[in-house]
């Protein structure tokens, strides 16, 4: 790793995003907002805002949506390695809020440029030069070549001595739990840190509790398991201990992307040398803050934003 190398590298599919601007079905929406979103780029943006040098790689179509994806991610200080695919379009997701308490996301990504990730897309020395490789369970379910790219990246990370971070991030639209389970379990067992919710760990090891899944992962060589509990906070299973961190009381506006913000907060704290309790506090704060604004990544905090939130700055007017 050189002084110019990114501390974290990640790759995956980032899509254009269209969302309703009001509560109600798409059938009756009067206006829509436009943006982008993708789990891996959400984490990359979150890390960059927290002062971590980060690089994201992905395929986009030779179209205006692909240009927007690249511009938005790069605009937040992430090193972008975009492969422009002239034979496939940039994927699209559409988000609606059928009620004040629910969100529905619809994906239009079959055969998209992002799904065509390939091991040959990974630049020489890119993974090997990083301190940490972050991956998600979305990538291997996109296509056979995307899954091969993920395994190739893990092989290369091991050679370079990078930490391997894996967020299960199961998407039922891509595969059934029965089909996805073995694929995701293999990848989790090849990782150093695994993030997931209670239901996601049950997909890896049917019938197991989060503590039981953590023990199984530890037996396979994974050192750290992080259980995301949403507003209830999170727990870390490391060695034979469980360390818990409390969540924050907020009024959520949009919960999509909160898990990615949590991961960015956790990894930034880890790379910044914080103790585990402080890492969890930062991660839970980042996850909560991501829920306060519509969008997948727009509310990901900077260090200054985070400091104000943790200090209890409740004044709605800043002069």
Q: Which tens digit of pLDDT belongs to each residue from 272-315?
A: 999 999 999 999 999 999 999 888 899 999 999 999 999 886 54
Question: Which domain range does residue 298 map to?
Answer: 8-13+38-89+112-308
57 beta partners: 11, 81
Backbone angles phi, psi at 282, to 5 degrees: -65, -45
- The CATH number that applies at residue 119 is 3.40.1190.20
33 beta partners: 19
Q: Please, what sign has the CA dihedral across residues 47, 13, 299, 135? A: negative
What's the structural domain count of the chain? 1
pLDDT for 316 equals: 44
Contact in structure between 48 and 76 (CB atoms under 8 Å): yes
Domain membership of residue 97 (yes or no) is no
Domain membership of residue 317 (yes or no) is no
- How far is Cα 245 from Cα 275, in angstroms, rounded to an integer? 12
Whole-prediction pTM:
0.94
Domain membership of residue 104 (yes or no) is no
Domain membership of residue 280 (yes or no) is yes
Backbone angles phi, psi at 154, to 5 degrees: -65, -45
What does the pLDDT look like over 171-185, one tens digit per residue?
999 999 999 999 999
| Residue 32 or residue 6, greater confidence | 32
Domain membership of residue 265 (yes or no) is yes
Domain membership of residue 1 (yes or no) is no
Residues involved in catalysis:
260
**pLDDT averaged over every residue in the chain:** 93
Contact in structure between 247 and 231 (CB atoms under 8 Å): yes
The residues, any chain, with a CB within 8 Å of residue 20's CB and separated by 6 or more, are: 26, 29, 31, 32, 33, 95, 96, 97
Once rounded to an integer, what is the mean pLDDT over residues 233-262?
93
Backbone angles phi, psi at 10, to 5 degrees: -155, 160
Domain membership of residue 68 (yes or no) is yes
pLDDT for 319 equals: 38
- How far is Cα 188 from Cα 168, in angstroms, rounded to an integer? 8
Domain membership of residue 316 (yes or no) is no
pLDDT for 295 equals: 82
Model confidence at 62: pLDDT above 80: yes
DSSP 7-75: SEEEE---EEEEEESSSB-GGG-S-EEEEEE-HHHHHHHHHHHTT--EEEEEEEESSHHHHHHHHHHHH
DSSP 147-215: HHHHHHHHHHHHHHT-EEEEE----TTTS-HHHHHHHHHHHHHT-SEEEE-HHHHHHHSTT--HHHHHH
pLDDT for 164 equals: 98
């Amino acid at each position: 790793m050189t002084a110019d190398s990114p501390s974290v590298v990640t790759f995956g599919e980032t899509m254009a995003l269209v969302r309703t601007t009001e509560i109600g079905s798409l059938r009756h929406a009067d206006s829509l907002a436009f943006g982008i979103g993708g789990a891996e780029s959400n984490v990359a943006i979150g890390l960059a805002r927290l002062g971590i040098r980060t690089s994201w790689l992905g395929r986009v179509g030779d179209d205006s949506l692909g240009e927007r994806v690249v511009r938005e991610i790069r605009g937040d200080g992430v090193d972008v390695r975009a492969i422009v695919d002239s034979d496939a379009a940039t994927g699209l997701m559409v988000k609606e809020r059928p009620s004040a308490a629910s969100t529905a996301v619809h994906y239009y990504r079959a055969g998209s440029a992002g799904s065509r990730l390939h091991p040959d897309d990974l630049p020489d020395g890119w993974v090997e030069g990083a301190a940490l490789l972050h991956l998600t369970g979305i990538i291997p379910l996109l296509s056979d070549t995307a899954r091969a790219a993920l395994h190739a990246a893990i092989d290369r990370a091991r050679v370079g001595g990078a930490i391997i971070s894996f967020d299960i991030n199961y998407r039922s639209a891509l595969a059934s739990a029965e089909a996805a389970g073995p694929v995701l379990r293999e990848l989790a067992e090849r990782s150093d840190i695994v993030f997931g919710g209670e239901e996601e760990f049950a997909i890896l090891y049917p019938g197991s509790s989060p503590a039981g899944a953590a023990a199984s992962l530890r037996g396979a060589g994974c050192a750290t398991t992080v259980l995301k509990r949403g507003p209830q906070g999170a727990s870390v299973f490391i060695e034979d201990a469980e360390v818990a961190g409390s969540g924050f009381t907020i009024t959520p506006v949009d919960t999509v992307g909160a898990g990615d913000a949590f991961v960015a907060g956790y990894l930034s704290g880890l790379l910044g040398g914080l103790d585990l309790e402080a890492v969890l506090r930062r991660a839970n704060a980042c996850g909560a803050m991501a829920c306060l604004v519509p969008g997948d990544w727009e509310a990901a905090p900077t260090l200054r934003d985070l400091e104000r939130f943790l200090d209890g700055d409740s004044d709605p007017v800043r002069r």
